[in-house]
Amino acid sequence: MQVNEIVKAVRPPVRAYLDLRWRESTRGRVHIQLSLAKPLSRQFMLMCTGQRGVSYRNTVFLRVARKGTPGESVVGGDHDGKGGAGIIDLTGGKYRKSGMAGAVWGWPCNAATAAQFAITTRDSDDGWEWDYVFGRVTSGLEVVRAAVNHSDVTQVTVVDCGIVLNQ
């Protein structure tokens, strides 16, 4: 199926999933609700389905921002941290800011990291907010938090990803 057929079948908002693995076993599934009015959301959905030939499948987490502090987030979305160009035009769209745990965000203004994404794992209690929020974790945030606490976050792999058809 083409993604536009799938979106018609499930009706927005769309829920994507990431299956995370480290230490040779799958640790859990993360569900992310996307608002398709935003270009980063559409790209994230396309990267989860692999429809355009590239996918988040078999990519790794790259680093943790603000480790151990309010606003902590994990960054993923490519294999080596050198970035991955966006697969669609990422201009336009109004994004919100958030410092809440579960916020999913990215960088539409930087072509080198346009395919990367981040998931906030700790609420910010100091007013810190991430820009370009395009989704939110609806279940599995505990899996992301466990991944952040793994001894080497770069050993955490997205072993599977896609979108959920039955909502």
Using CB atoms within 10 Å of the CB of residue 151, give its burial: 0 to 12 exposed, 13 to 18 middle, 19+ buried: exposed
Of 152, 159, 155, give the one whose Cα is nearest residue 67. 152
Give residue 70's pLDDT. Answer: 92
Q: For the chain, where are the alpha helices, taking DSSP H only?
A: 3-10, 39-49, 141-148
CA atoms within 13 Å, Cβ hemisphere of 103: 22
Q: Where are the domains of the chain?
A: 3-163
In the numeric block, the tokens 């429809």 are attached to 51
CATH number for the segment(s) 3-163: 2.40.100.10
Give residue 8's pLDDT. Answer: 56
Give residue 128's pLDDT. Answer: 78
Per-residue pLDDT of the chain (167 residues; tens, 9 = 90+): 455 555 555 566 789 999 999 988 888 999 999 988 888 998 899 899 988 888 899 999 999 999 999 999 999 987 666 656 677 888 777 888 999 999 999 887 766 677 889 999 999 987 878 889 999 999 999 999 999 998 899 999 999 999 987 65
Give residue 110's pLDDT. Answer: 66
Q: Is the pTM of this model over 0.85?
A: yes
| Cβ pair 97, 72 in contact under 8 A | no
